[in-house]
Structure formats: C-alpha cells, structure tokens
C-alpha cells in the first residue's frame, strides 16, 4: 500500500485546501490548485490500462527514467541507433531484391516417428515459467500467441491453467524437476504426463537439459515468489526456495536420453518431442548424435540456448562465462546433425538475444529453422527492466506473485501488444530477407552474413566456419572434427 501514499497525500491536501480556499482565503488556492491537478493525474494513472507501472505507482511512476535497451514501439522492437561501422556483423543485401512473401512461412516440426507434426512460426515465446512470471503475464503471452498463431513455451514450472485459458499453442517444457508430471520419488509420472500431453493446446514437448542462464545448475524460484498456487502447481512447500536438480534422474547417458525421448513421444501420442540445451563441449552433443544413430531414434527438434542467458536467473559471475555463445552453439548443432545425416528430420530453434527482425534473419543464417524470444516478449507485456525479478517486487506486475502488483496489468491490452510485436518483427524479417534477394528462409546461406574483423578485413560465415556436407562425419570426419568424433561415446556424456 505504500506506493499509493503520494496520491493519498495529495488527495488529502486537495480535500482540505479546496474548502479553505472558498471559505477562508483565496490564498489557499496556492495549495489547492496543484493538489487538485495532481489528484486528477494520479486518478488517471489508476484507471488507465496501458502502463502497469503507472497503475501500480500513481504519480511516482511518472518520475522514472525509461529503462535502457530495445523496447517495442509500434509493435516492433527498435534498437538504439549506432554508427553502422560499430556493428561487428551485417547481412548482405542484393542489387536485385525481391518482393517479400505475403505470408511468413511456417516450419514443419516432426520427424518420421511423429504422427502429429506441428507448424512452428518463425518467432515464438521462449521458455518462461508460471512462478517466474505472474499469472496475468503468462495469460497475456498465451492470448497473444493465440491471436498471432505462434507458440508459447511454458518453461519448466509446469502446465498451469493460465497457460491453457488463453487458447494459444503450447510447447510444454519438462525440466529436471518434472513439475506438472512429478512422481512421488521425484521422477516422471508417466500417466500424468500422458494425460496432460494429450491436451489439444499442447502441440510439442520440450525436454530441457540445460539453459544458458543457469548452466550446470537447476532452475531456482525464490521462496518469496512461491505462493500457495505455485506450491500446489509444483507440489512443493509454500514460501520455500524451489531448486531444481542439476540433471535428470530418468537417464544418465546419451543412449538413455534418446530412448527417453522416444518414450515421451509415444506417451504424448506422437506429438513432437525435442531437446533444449546450451552447448558446452562439442564432443557431448556428438555423443548424443551417435546415440541417435545407434538406436535409430532422434528428437523432432533441438532448441539451442546461448551462454549469454537472458532471464537474470543465473549468478552474475556465471552469465556469459560458461558454455558456447548462441552463434557458436547453433553452428555446432547444425553441423553435427548435417554431418550424421539427420538434419533433414531434426529442426533447430534458436533461443537467446532474439528481439528484432534482423536477429531472426541472423539466426536463420547461422543454422536455425525458427527462433524464440524471452526478453522482448517480457517487454511487450510491460516489463520495465527494474531488475527486481528475484524479489517479487516487480513494479509492472510481470515477474511477481503479489496480487496488488499484478492488478496493474491489463491482460487484453498486453496480449494485443504481444501479438503486434511478433507480427511486426516477423514481417520485418521477411522484408530484410527480400532485400537480400530471398523470399524463403531456405534461400539463406552462410555467405549472407559477414563479420567485420578489422577495418578493411571482412569475412562471410561461409569462410569463417567449416560447414559439413550431409553424412560427412560418417564417411570420414575432417581433421578439425576427428578428435571430437572419435571421443564421442553414446554411453557417456563425459
């Protein structure tokens, strides 16, 4: 209630000084006039629906400085302008551009073992759990996904009613805590998983191995955000920190991992099942590829996260210091799947630092089939980057479970903003591709992205990285891959 005191004080001042101005002396208008004006301004803050911070902090919120970083304006994220020569990379335009496609393409996700494939949009909502986000934020994202016909990743916190109420397509993420389908022993409850995976809103299942924001460490939800509802959803004590295990208990080797993927796909009725991971050692992912070949089983998709992280969940000393950056991770996963002849059946998603149309196109060039955005989607629902996600004191009602703070968020308005942001960003990506002479993502090649190494020294991605031919690792790996390929063991991650 403390955040409403400024408005209450000016309203009280107006209530006292206005009668005095009429009854005692006109000098009281020096106090009454500004107090009345401020009361009207504060009242307008309380009833408006576009800005949750002003609604939660009337009057005071008008004193804040705009948060830094890209923000959605007119539906698309605009980055601060910079000198073009300060940019280390650029996309290559064509002297013969084409007309942009009228409708953005969809990406068919689902290999030969999948009986219910899903058509994924080029840009989707990345993994953010109910618990990390408020119920209204989750619902706004889901309704936005329904309006724009793209997917929302649930995050590993479970499949809540707020994910289901909006009618949007869902990628149900299963983390090491198996929240939402957790057995008494801490493992997977197969019957509960099958029942929830059969819901029509669930289009895909994502098995999270790791994420760039907290590498080698289970996700953490501070106890201050573990409300009674969150506790029921995750089956954990209320008000106590929730720390997910660092690794899965249902498998311990690459071979067991791919067999577990097959089990989940069967239990999900043939819906696409994939992996989410950040890449540490190339040898580890090659071990998973060897297991795929040995068992004849492959995930339907792999979402690659970057070491850059983005949620603020990781210790600051870890962020960006463990694991490969997203660019290198994407190139590694793409090449590995190409090299073992599985790239045509496994789609790749890119998750991390995706906000603009240029980001989408860049990730497609680097090996992705589609992208996911987290931070930009949070901005679309009103995040002001206050840096208080872990405290439960989010002033915008986005990353908190405080009902007095979440009341400031108007779901319908934020859902429209999410839809508009996604639509305009994808449209921007299609226009960029058209300016490069490409109408479909399949026409993009590594030569379309150039990195500036020094003044006058530029190299395209076609030259910067080694790109394997289909099946090259099986036929005889190049020298640069030979040691990792030989060391990759389908029965050991290490």
E-strand stretches of 183-331? 202-208, 220-221, 242-243, 273-278, 301-305
- Which range among 123-127, 230-234, 284-288 shows the weakest confidence by mean pLDDT? 230-234
DSSP-assigned beta bridge partners for residue 171: 153, 204
Q: Which whole number is the average pLDDT over 323-328?
A: 89
Whole-angstrom distance, CA of residue 156 vs CA of residue 221: 11
User: At residue 211, does pLDDT exceed 50?
Assistant: yes
Separation in Å, CA 124 to CA 49, 145, 148, 348, 372: 25, 8, 10, 13, 5
pLDDT tens digits, one per residue of 77-132: 555 444 444 578 999 999 999 999 999 999 999 999 999 999 999 999 999 999 88
By CB atoms closer than 10 A (0-12, 13-18, 19+), residue 22 is: exposed
Please give the model's pTM, rounded to 2 decimal places. Answer: 0.87
Rg of the chain on CA atoms, in Å: 25
Q: Is the pLDDT of residue 179 over 80?
A: yes
């Amino acid at each position: 209630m403390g955040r409403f005191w400024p408005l209450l004080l000016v309203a009280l001042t107006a209530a006292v000084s206005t009668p005095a101005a009429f009854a005692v002396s006109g000098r009281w208008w020096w106090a009454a006039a500004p107090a009345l004006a401020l009361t009207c301004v504060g009242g307008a803050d309380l009833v408006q629906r576009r800005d949750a911070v002003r609604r939660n902090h009337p009057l005071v919120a008008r004193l804040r400085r705009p948060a830094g970083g890209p923000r959605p304006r007119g539906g698309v994220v605009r980055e601060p302008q910079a000198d073009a020569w300060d940019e280390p990379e650029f996309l290559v335009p064509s002297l013969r551009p084409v007309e942009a496609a009228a409708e953005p393409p969809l990406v068919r996700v689902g290999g030969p073992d999948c009986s219910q494939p899903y058509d994924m949009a080029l840009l989707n909502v990345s993994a953010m759990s109910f618990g990390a986000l408020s119920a209204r934020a989750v619902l706004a994202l889901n309704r936005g996904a329904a309006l724009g016909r793209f997917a929302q990743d649930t995050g590993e916190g479970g499949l809540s009613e707020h994910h289901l109420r909006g009618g949007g397509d869902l990628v149900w993420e299963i983390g090491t805590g198996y929240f939402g389908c957790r057995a008494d022993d801490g493992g997977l409850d197969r019957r509960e998983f099958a029942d929830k995976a059969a819901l029509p809103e669930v289009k895909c299942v994502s098995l999270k191995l790791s994420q760039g924001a907290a590498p080698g460490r289970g996700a953490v939800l501070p106890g201050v955000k573990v409300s009674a509802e969150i506790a029921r959803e995750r089956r954990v004590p209320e008000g106590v920190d929730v720390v997910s295990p660092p690794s899965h208990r249902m498998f311990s080797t690459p071979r067991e991992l791919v067999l577990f993927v097959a089990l989940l796909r069967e239990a999900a009725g043939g819906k696409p099942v994939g992996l989410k991971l950040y890449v540490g050692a190339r040898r580890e992912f090659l071990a998973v590829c060897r297991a795929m070949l040995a068992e004849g089983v492959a995930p339907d998709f792999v979402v690659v996260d970057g070491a850059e992280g983005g949620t603020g969940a990781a210790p600051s000393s870890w962020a960006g210091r463990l694991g490969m950056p997203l660019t290198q991770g994407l190139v590694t996963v793409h090449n590995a799947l190409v090299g073992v002849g599985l790239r045509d059946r496994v789609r790749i998603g890119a998750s991390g630092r995706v906000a603009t149309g240029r980001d989408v196109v860049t990730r497609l060039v680097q090996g992705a089939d589609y992208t996911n955005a987290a931070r930009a989607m949070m901005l679309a629902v009103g995040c002001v980057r206050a840096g208080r996600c872990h405290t439960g004191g989010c002033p915008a009602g986005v990353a908190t479970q405080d009902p007095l703070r979440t009341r400031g968020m108007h779901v319908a308005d934020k859902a429209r903003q999410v839809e508009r942001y996604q639509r305009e960003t994808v449209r921007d990506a299609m226009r960029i591709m058209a300016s490069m002479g490409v109408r479909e993502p399949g026409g993009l090649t590594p030569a379309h992205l150039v990195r500036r190494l020094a003044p006058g020294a530029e190299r395209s991605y076609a030259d910067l990285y080694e790109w394997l031919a289909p099946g090259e690792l099986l036929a005889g790996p190049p020298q640069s891959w030979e040691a990792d390929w030989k060391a990759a063991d389908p029965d050991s991650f290490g």
